[in-house]
Structure 1
Amino acid sequence: MTGPVPLRLERIEQVAVIGGGSVLDDEFARQLGDLCASLDDDVRVVVLNPEPATWLGFQADVSPGDPFAAFAELAQPTIAVLTGAVRGGGLELALCADIRVAASSAPIGFDPLAGEFPRAGGLQRLTRALGRSRATQLVMLERELDPQTALDWGLVNDIDDNPLGAAMRFAASIAERGPIAARYAKDAIAQGLDMPLAQALHYETELTILLQDTADRAEGVEAFVSKREPQFSGR
């Protein structure tokens, strides 16, 4: 009998693609954490593209808490490729990504509330993604969203017949930008959600000041003046 497919890491220039992984469980979470820890600063974007069966993972098969924290807390922008239907623990994993691209025929929802409920960070991340009202509706009414509704609600960022192709186009576009600026922008958005507005604005200003002393900032200015494409080094 064939066992679960292990996760694997592929580098395509400055984009890291995490694929494989057919069973969503604690071993999947461990492998994902190890791969995330192995990434270096040359990686500018991370694309998560596991086997379609992964997105159907049961909530009960993953330990409670935040098992996908290593992926959620990556400094690099992240993109999840939803190649099939997304349920339960699969949705909790997808919510850890900054950008989600879904197949045009992939319904999305949580498992029915019975002896379990989303317990791997899904409730908190869903509320931050959709707001309290829609998050409550999706969870309490066990509603399954079609891809277009998921897009309209902001649960996914794009739908495409070829979600991996669309995700890689997003990744290539992000990778062309200043990597330090992209990481700081991600950090400002994530941290600012949990801060009062005045504190979040102050934090954003602090990151902007740090950015002024980077070689990438100087390169961006020089490229603009010279009317050429910038060549960012990540320094």
Structure 2
Amino acid sequence: MTGGLRVEVRDRVGYVTIDRPERRNALGSDVMAGLVETFVRFDADDDVWAVLITGAGDQAFSAGRDLKELAGHDAAGGPPPSPMRQPLRNPFEVVLECRKPTVAALNGWAMGGGLELAMACDVRIAADTAKLGLPEALRGMGANFGSVMLPRLVPLGVAYDLLYSGRTIDAEEAARWGLVNRVVPLGELAATAEEYVRVLLANAPLTIRRYKAVIQSSLHQAPAAALRLDVRPDPYSSEDRVEGVRAFAEKRAPQWRAR
């Protein structure tokens, strides 16, 4: 454990737990720096094929930026927290750009920066007790990442509403707008998220990485341009493609090597 994070790799999955339950897993400076370091490492680690992130306890995924820490920073006369002008990389951007599939298990409140972190992941599975919102308008903050990502995930009018009002929504409403992929009882969340990650691991890892690269590269391009992108990795010429076809012919499960 380092910087308020518990991080481990088991069976090709990188597990990340924000471990500050006494502060509703608020994102302090140490946590954010730890997220950057962890996801940069996972991105380069050939032994990590998927990442699962959650919060400790059953109250919060993350309540967002640690405002008590920020208030102390302001009182000490520190520079304003401009999101893209800091010496360290933005953790949400690093999570978004991770080449491996990322899954967020929302075990409670996902507010402000906590929701931004969840939106940086590819798939979000929420407990039925989860609450989500971007309350930055109530605190004079900016939700820089959220204001970019939310309109890509929900209808535009809904994005305006949630950003302008700062209101909190429950997991069922979040699912209705497509902000979360699935809602399950809190007691089933960990097992459901684990089962989902194992489904990803059963599929060809290079294919999944290419899907992510294609989606991120082509989302706002015309189809004719998007279809001609030379996106890597290339599963067509991979050993895994040969293995997948052979395994089908031999009626057995494929043994992927990510090569």
TM-score scaled to structure 1, two decimals?
A: 0.89
1:72-97 CA-partner distances (Å, limit 9, x unpaired): 11100000111112211111111100
Match of 1:29 in 2: 32
2:158 aligned with 1:134, yes or no? yes
Q: Are 2:162 and 1:143 aligned?
A: no
Q: What SS does the corresponding residue of 2:137 show, helix, strand or coil?
A: coil
Matched-pair contact (CA < 8 Å) for 1:63–1:120: no
Q: 1:104 aligns with which of 115, 118, 128?
A: 128
Which residue type is aligned with residue 31 of structure 1?
A: G
Query: Is 1:56 aligned to 2:68, yes or no?
Result: no
Q: How does 1:1-235 map to 2 (within 5 A)?
A: 6-22=4-20, 23-39=26-42, 40-51=45-56, 52-53=59-60, 55-58=62-65, 61=70, 64-65=83-84, 66-111=90-135, 113-161=137-185, 162-203=188-229, 206-207=230-231, 210-235=234-259
TM-score (norm. length: structure 2): 0.81
Q: Give CA deviations for 1:179-220 in whole Å, capped at 9, x if unaligned.
A: 1001000111111113232211222xx348932110000011
Separation in structure 1 between the aligned mates of residue 133 and residue 183 of structure 2, nearest angstrom: 16
Q: 1: CA distance between counterparts of 2:141 and 2:226?
A: 32
C-alpha spacing 1:38/1:64, structure 2 compared with 1 (3 Å): same
Q: Report how far residue 131 of structure 1 moved.
A: 3.3
Identity of aligned residues (%): 30
Counterpart amino acid of 1:15?
A: V
Give the CA RMSD over aligned residues.
Answer: 2.2
The whole-number CA distance in structure 2 between the counterparts of 1:201 and 1:127 is: 24
3-state SS, counterpart of residue 68 of structure 1: helix
> Residue 104 of structure 2: SS of its match in structure 1?
strand
Q: CA, structure 1 residues 144+46, in 2 after alignment: closer, same or farther (shift >3 Å)?
A: same
The unaligned stretches of length 5 or more in structure 1 are: none
Match of 2:244, SS state, is helix
In 1, the alpha carbon distance for the partners of 2:6 and 2:233 equals 37
Give the gaps of 5 or more residues in structure 2.
21-25, 71-80, 85-89
Structure 1 residue 53: Cα displacement: 4.2
The one-character-per-residue Cα deviations of 1:80-127 (angstroms, maximum 9, x if unpaired) are 111112211111111100001111111211115145244341111111
Contact 2:7/2:14 (8 A) holds in 1: yes
Separation (CA, whole Å) in 2 of partners of 1:89 and 1:175: 28
- 8 Å CA contact retained: 2:7, 2:17: yes
Secondary structure at 1:80's aligned position in 2? Answer: strand
Distance 1:197 1:59 in 2: 42
Using a 3 Å threshold, how does the CA distance of structure 1 residues 59 and 25 change in structure 2: closer, same or farther? closer
Say whether the 8 Å CA contact 1:49–1:164 is kept in structure 2. no
Per-residue Cα deviation, 1:54-85 (whole angstroms, up to 9, x for no partner): 51124865751343222111100000111112
